[in-house]
Structure 1
Amino acid sequence: MSQELPPQAGADQPREALIIVASSGTGGDMQPFIALARGLAARGRRVLLLAPELQEEMARAAGLPYRLFGEREQEQAVLDNPDLWHERKGWGVLWDGLIPQLDAIRQAVQALPEDEDCMVLCHPILVPMAALARAARPDLRIVTAYLAPSNLCSRYDLLTMGSLRIPGWLPPAGAGLLWRLLHRWFNGLTLPGLNAARAQCGLPPAPHFFEHMLKTPNASVSLFPRWFAAMQPDWPRPFFEGGFLPPAAPAGPGLCAELEAFLAAGDAPIVFTPGTGHRHAAAFFDAALRALRRLGRRGVFVTPHAAQLPPALPDGVLWQAHAPFTALLPRAAALVHHGGVSTMADAMRAGIPQLIVPYGYDQFDNGQRAKRLGVAEVLPAERVSARRMERVLGRLLSGPGAGRACRELAARMEAEAEPTRALDCVEEALLGKPGRAAEKSGARPALAEG
C-alpha cells in the first residue's frame, strides 16, 4: 500500500529531484527520519517516505506521500522474538528480518518514471538496500544519517564494545584490532544474505559489511552534537556535523487527564521505559517496581505493551501506553530507559538524571557517553536487579553531582539550540550545496572533507 505522490505544479518548470526517505525498526528509529522528511517537505522538497508495513500508522500520520515494504506478519515476528534484545543474538534476528526486504528501495526507484530524478536519505542499516538500487540508477545519490556514534566504528573514540568497557589507555591500533575481530563475526552473519541479493542484481559481492555501509553513501550526517561525540579522523567523508533533532511538538493537548492528576497528587515520579518496541521487559518492570518500594518513590511506567507489566500496580505507580516526554520529563525526578538517543536527548533537555539500562546495539555506547557527561549512570540489562536499581537511583537522586551536571547541560542545550541545524546539514548533504534555509541565512553547517 502507498499514498501517491502529488503532481508537481508547473509542468514547464524543471522537475526537482524526489527525495526517498527510508528507515526501519522501532519508533526510535522511525521518528527522526519522519521528522527529517517532514522538515524537507516544509522547505518545498519533494519527498517520498519509505517505511515497513508494520509502521503504516506512523507513516500515514506523517501526512506525507509514502510507500510500504515488507510483510506485517514477518516484521511482527521479529519484534516478538525475545532474542531481538539480546546483546549478541539481536543482530542476527534484526538482519534475518531485513534480508527479505533488501530489494525495497530498488523497487521504489524502479516504480518511478524513467525520467524521474531521485536520491535517497536512509538509516545506516538500510544502506545495503540503497546500494542495490544503484543497479537500476547508477547515479543514485545516497546520504545516510547517523542517530548514534557507535555505528561509525571509530578506532579513536571507542568507549565500549557491547557491554565490554574499553579502557581509555587502549591505543587506536588496539581498538582497530577489536573492531576487526567483531567485524569478522559480523561479516559471517550478514554477507551471505547480502551478497546473494547483490548477485541477483548483477553486482559484485561486498567483502566487508561495515565498510560497505560506511563507504557507499555520497555523504553522511550526524544527528547528534559534537559535544556528545566529536568527529573522528576515520569517520567517512564528506561528513556533516548536525545535532539532536528538536523535540517533536506533542500531538493533541499534551498530557492526558489521568497523568496530570497523578503528577499533581504527589512528589515528582521516576519514569521507566524500555523503549516503544521492547515487548520482553518483564524483568525490567519487576525490578523497577521493587526498587520504587525500597526507595519510597512514585513511578510512571511507559510502554505500549502492557503484558510485560507486573500483574497489579500500587496506587503510587501509574502505567501509560504512551506519553509525550517533552511534557512529562520536566515534571519527573529521573528517567530509567534503554539508552535510545532521542529519549536520552529529551531527558538532557529536561535537566533530570538518567539510569540507562542498555540491552544491545548502540545503547551501551550511548549510555557511556551520557555517563561521561555526568548526567547518567549505566546498569546493563543483564545485571538489573531491584537492589542494584535502588542503589544507583539513590545515588543519582541524593548526590549533588548529577543534579548539577543535568542543570548545566540543560542550560547549555537551551543556549546552543539551533533548531534547523540537523535539517540544514541533511539538505546540504543531499543537494551538494547549502539548502534553502542556509541560503537565506548565509549559514553553513560544519562539513569535513577527506
Structure 2
Amino acid sequence: MRVLLFPVGSYGDVHPFIGIACELLSRGHDVVLHTSEHFRSLAERAGVPYYAVDTEEEYKRALYDPNLFHPLHGFRTVARNVILPWQQRHYEIVAREVATSQSQLLMVGSALAQGLYMAHESFQVPYATIHLQPSVMWSSVRPPRLVRYMPASAKMPAWWNYGVYRLAERVMIDRILRGPTNAFRRELGLPAISRSTNLWHSPQKVIGMFPEWYAEPQPDWPANTALADFPLWDESDLGELDAEVRAFLDEGDPPIVFTPGSAMLNGHQFFAEAIAACQLLGRRAILLTRFPQQLPEPLPSGIRHFSYVPLSQLLPHSAALVYHGGIGTLSQACAAGVPHLIMPLSHDQPDNAERIERLGIGATLYPNQFRARKIAEKLQHLLQSEQTAAACREISARLANPLGVSRAVDEIERMLTENAAAETLSR
C-alpha cells in the first residue's frame, strides 16, 4: 500500500503525521509526506519520504500574517494563505499518483486538506480524515467553544446551537471558501457544494486523535468516526534531551515552562508578562520559542530561553505549563501530569481551554487578562492545589501507555482491508 499523508499547519499539526508515517513505514508500507517545505529537514531526520507542497517563502508569508491568530480573522488568514492554494496542489499530487503509481493508494489528511475530498470524488482513491482536535467536530448537542463568548452551549436547545453554527459557517467560512472552491470544482466537472464544511470529513473514515475521556463522542458526529488517542509524537525519538537544558533543570527547582506556540511571532507581551509573573513568584522558568526576537535582553537570572525542546522530555521535570492551548502541547502536558495555564487566542484553543478546566487540571486567562499579577495568582493556586495535583496524576496515568499513533494506523490499515474486500465483491 502507498499512503499519501497531507498534514496542513504548524509543527503541532505536522508532528502527529510524522509519527504516523514512521509507524506505517515500520509496518512495511510505502509512505510519502506532503506538506510545507519548512518541514523538510524534520522529515529527513525522521527518515520519512517527503514532497514539498509550497516554498519556504510561502510558509513564512502565512506565518508572518498578523491576523493568523486573530479570534475573528484567523480562519480567513489560513484560508487565503493555505487552504485555497493547497486545494489544487493536493488534487494534482493525487492525480499524478493515480496516473503513475503501481500500488494501491490511500490518502490521509486533515480537515484543511480539502483537495483530497475532491480527488476522492474524481478517482475513488480511499480517503481518511484525521482530526487532531475535537473543535472541528461540530455538534448541536454539545457544541465546542469556537470563540470566547460562545452563544451556543450544551445548555441550549439543539435547534438553537445548529442555527448559531449555520450562521457562523455562512458568515465566516462559506463567504471565504465556497466561491473559489466551487469554481475549482466546476473545472473538475464536480457538482457545487452548498456548505464548505461538507469537505471537512471524509465520507469513508474519520479518525479523531484524542481520547473519549477528553471529548465524548456526540450523536451528530460523522457516523464513520473512530477515536484513537493523543498521538504524543514530538521529536523525542530523534535525540536525547539537550545537555544545556538538562544542566538548567539540574540547577534548581522545577521551572515553569512558557510557550505561545511554534507559529507565534507576536508573543512579545506574552513573554514580558511571563517573566514578570515568575519574578513575583520567585520561580525559575524556561521560555520556548523559535523566534527569540520576541524576548527582552538580557533575561533575568533563573530564566532561560530555548528554541525547541521536545515536551515529552521537558515537562516531566517542570512545575507547570503556560501556553496557547494548542492540542499537541496540551496532550504532552496531560501525559506529563503538570497543571495547565492557557491563554487561548483562536482556532481550537478556546475549546481546548474549556475542556482542560472541565477536567480540573488547569485554568484560563484570555489575552486581555494575561497580566503578570493574574498569571502569578493563577499559577500559585494551581501549584498549591492538591485537588489539581490529583487530577493531573489521574490524567497522566491514563496516558502512561500511549497508543494514539498505532491505533490510528490500525484504522488506516483496516480501511485498506475493507476497500480491498469491497473491490473483490464488485468483480
Give TM-score, length-normalised by structure 1.
0.87
- Structure 1 residue 59: deviation in Å? 2.7
Q: In structure 1, how many angstroms separate the alpha carbons of the residues matched to 2:166 and 2:20?
A: 33
> Aligned residue for 1:307?
293
* 129, 132, 139: which one aligns with 1:144: 129
Amino acid at match of 1:145: I
- Structure 1 residue 217: deviation in Å? 3.3
- Structure 1 residue 343: deviation in Å? 1.2
> Aligned residue for 1:101?
86
> Aligned residue for 1:209?
196
Q: Deviations over 1:23-63 (max 9, x none)?
A: 12100001111111221121111212111223222232331
RMSD value over aligned CA atoms?
Answer: 2.0
- Structure 1 residue 433: deviation in Å? 7.4
Q: 1:114 to 1:321 in 2, by over 3 A?
A: closer
Q: In structure 2, how many angstroms separate the alpha carbons of the residues matched to 1:366 and 1:153?
A: 14
The percent identity for this pair of structures is 31
Amino acid at match of 1:87: P
Q: Could you list the runs of 5+ residues in structure 2 that have no partner in the other structure?
A: 421-427
* 38, 41, 49: which one aligns with 2:33: 49
Q: For 1:351-430, what aligned pairs fall within 5 Å after superposition? A: 351-414=337-400, 420-430=406-416
SS of the counterpart of 2:52? strand
* 17, 20, 36: which one aligns with 1:33: 17
- Structure 1 residue 114: deviation in Å? 4.8
1:125 has 2:112 as partner: yes
- Structure 1 residue 220: deviation in Å? 0.5
| Structure ranking higher in helix proportion | 2
Amino acid at match of 1:202: G
Q: 1:247 to 1:178 in 2, by over 3 A?
A: same
Q: In structure 2, how many angstroms separate the alpha carbons of the residues matched to 1:42 and 1:348?
A: 27
Q: 1:115 to 1:411 in 2, by over 3 A?
A: closer
> Aligned residue for 1:228?
214
- Structure 1 residue 415: deviation in Å? 6.6
> Aligned residue for 1:297?
283
Contact 1:121/1:430, CA 8 A, preserved across alignment: no
The alignment of Structure 1 onto Structure 2 pairs a total of residues equal to 415
> Aligned residue for 2:333?
347
Q: In structure 1, how many angstroms separate the alpha carbons of the residues matched to 2:121 and 2:148?
A: 38
Q: 1:135 to 1:426 in 2, by over 3 A?
A: closer
1:158 has 2:143 as partner: yes
Q: In structure 2, how many angstroms separate the alpha carbons of the residues matched to 1:415 and 1:323?
A: 21
SS of the counterpart of 2:51? strand
> Aligned residue for 1:72?
56
* 127, 152, 170: which one aligns with 1:184: 170
Amino acid at match of 1:309: L
Deviates more, 1:150-159 or 1:288-297: 150-159
Q: Deviations over 1:193-226 (max 9, x none)?
A: 2122222222222110112323x43111110000
Q: 1:61 to 1:361 in 2, by over 3 A?
A: same
Q: Could you list the runs of 5+ residues in structure 1 that have no partner in the other structure?
A: 1-16, 435-450
Contact 2:5/2:33, CA 8 A, preserved across alignment: yes
Give TM-score, length-normalised by structure 2.
0.92
Deviates more, 1:309-318 or 1:299-308: 309-318
Deviates more, 1:390-399 or 1:59-68: 59-68
Contact 2:153/2:161, CA 8 A, preserved across alignment: no
> Aligned residue for 1:85?
69
SS of the counterpart of 1:125? coil
Q: In structure 1, how many angstroms separate the alpha carbons of the residues matched to 2:39 and 2:400?
A: 32
